[in-house]
Structure 1
Amino acid sequence: MLDVTVIEDAEAAAVSLDPIRARLLAELAGGPASAAMLAGKVGLPRQKVNYHLKALERHGLVELAGERRKGNVTERLMRATAASYVISPLALASVQPDPDRFRDQFSARWLLALGARLVRDVGSLITGATKARKPLATFALDGEVTFASAAERAAFVTELTAGVTALINKYDAPGAAGGREHRIVVAVHPTLKSPEPGPSDAGPENPELTER
C-alpha cells in the first residue's frame, strides 16, 4: 500500500468524495476487509457496501487483496491502494489555478496556486515514473521558525530571497547538454494552529495574517 497517492481523474475524485465511499476507504486503509466485514462498521447492508466497493475498484482506489471461503460463500477481501489520497487540480482541469496568471509573492492566494501546481506536477510525475518503473528524483525541506516581529519576518524573507536567487544563479545552466530542469518553490506562511475559543486569528485583530 502506498502512503499517499494523487487522484487525477474527475470521476475518481467524485467517487472518493462520496461520504460513504470515503468512510470505506478509511476503513480499508487499516487493512483488508470484505463487504460483510465492512457492513457492520458503516451501518449498511452487505449488498450496498459491495456496490460502493465496486465503484471504488473501477477507479483504482481499492484492489483485491485475496479471497476466503465462509460457508458456501467466497468473500473478496479488498484493500485501499493508498493510506491517503490527494485530489489533483487536473480533476478540475478547466478551472485549475494558474500561478502564471498573476504573480504576487506576498499573496496567500498566489501561494495557494503554487501549491496546487505543485500537487498537479508532482502527481503527474509520480504517475509517469510508476508507469515507466523508474525512480523519481525529488527533495523537500520542511521546518518552522518563530519570528520576534513582523520586521524580523520581512528581513528573513529578504535574506531568503537573496540566498535562493544566488544559488539559482550559481547552478543554473540552461544551455548545458543533457541538462535536467527542476522547479523550485519556497514558501513562508504562518503556522496553522488548532482553533481556540475567541476571535479568529485571521480577523481584524490580527492584521498580519490578512490577505494582500
Structure 2
Amino acid sequence: MAATEMSLMDEPERLRVALTPIRRQLLARLREPASAVQLAAELGQPRQRVGYHLKVLEQEELIELVEERRRRGCVERVMRATAKAFLVDPAVLTPTAPTPAAPTPAALTPAGVDAGFTRIADRHAAEHLVEVAAGTVREVTRMAAEADRQGVRLLTFTLEADVRFAEPGDVHRFTDELAEAVSRLAARYDTPGGRPYRLTAGGHPAPRAEPAG
C-alpha cells in the first residue's frame, strides 16, 4: 500500500520524536524506501546509530516496513515514511488555555451585545484568520489521510484571486458584499441530508515582491 500524501502531527510526543535533525533527514529521505545500510552510507553515519533512530521512528508509526531482504546471513529491513509530507498541527505548539465556564444565556444583555460585536471584529483580525486556517489544515489533512487509506479521493475545491484595494475601507465593504453573496449561494445549494461542506474564505496582504537582482 502506498504512503499517504499527508499526515497530521497533532501529538506532542510524535512531534518531539520527529524534530531532531537526523530524524528529519531520515523522514525526508524515506519518501523513497531504503535500508539502514543505505541510509548510513548516504548520511555518513554509523549503521547502529541510524538503526536506533529508525527504530524510534517506527515505534511512533512515522515510518513502516516495506520489505525484508536476506543479505549475507542477515535480514535487511527496507523502510519507508508513512506519509509523503508531515504537517504540524499549530495547536500542538500553542499553550492550552483553561476552558471557560459555559456562559449564561443573555444574548440581549450589554455583555451579549459586546460579544456579538467582538465576533464581527474578529472577521478582520489576523489572529482569527490564522486560527481558521489552522483548523482547515487540521481537518483536511485528517480526512485526506483517511481517504488515502480507503483508496478514495477527497473532493475539495480551492478559489484564489488577487484584488487591489484603493483604501482600507474598501476591504471592509468587499468583505461584507462577499459574505452576502456567499450566503445567497449557500442557501441556493444547501440540501437537507446532503454531504456537508465547509467553505472558508480569507484575505491577507500579498507579500511584497523581492526586487530583481
Question: Shorter-chain-normalised TM-score: which range?
Answer: 0.7 to 0.9
- What is the root-mean-square deviation in Å for CA atoms of aligned residues? 3.2
**What is residue 190 of structure 1 aligned with on the other side?**
205
Which has the larger displacement, 65-74 or 14-23? Answer: 65-74
Task: Give yes or no for the alignment of 1:15 onto 2:17.
Answer: yes
CA distance in 1, matches of 2:19, 2:199: 31
TM-score by length of structure 1 reads: 0.72
Counting aligned pairs with the same residue, the percent is 34
2:7 aligned partner, one-letter code: T
2:200 aligned partner, one-letter code: V
Distance 1:142 1:53, change over 3 A: farther
**What is residue 102 of structure 2 aligned with on the other side?**
none
Distance 1:184 1:110, change over 3 A: same
SS in 2 for 1:95: coil
CA distance in 1, matches of 2:163, 2:50: 48
Say whether the 8 Å CA contact 1:147–1:153 is kept in structure 2. Answer: no
> How do 1:47-196 and structure 2 match up within 5 A?
47-89=48-90, 91=92, 95=96, 103=119, 104-126=122-144, 133=150, 135=152, 137-147=154-164, 149-150=166-167, 153-154=171-172, 156-172=174-190, 176=192, 178-192=193-207
CA distance in 1, matches of 2:95, 2:146: 22
Say whether the 8 Å CA contact 1:62–1:81 is kept in structure 2. Answer: yes
In structure 1, runs of 5+ residues without a counterpart are 198-212
**What is residue 204 of structure 1 aligned with on the other side?**
none
In structure 2, runs of 5+ residues without a counterpart are 100-114
Looking at both structures, which has the greater relative contact order when contacts are Cα pairs under 8 Å and sequence separation is at least 6? 2
**What is residue 2 of structure 1 aligned with on the other side?**
4
Distance 1:144 1:170, change over 3 A: closer
Distance 1:135 1:66, change over 3 A: closer
1:74-124 Cα distance to aligned partner (Å, 9 max, x none): 21111111211112356468728x9xx964111111111001111222344
Shift of residue 15, structure 1, vs aligned partner: 1.4
Larger Rg: 2
TM-score by length of structure 2 reads: 0.72
User: What is the number of residues matched between the two proteins?
Assistant: 189
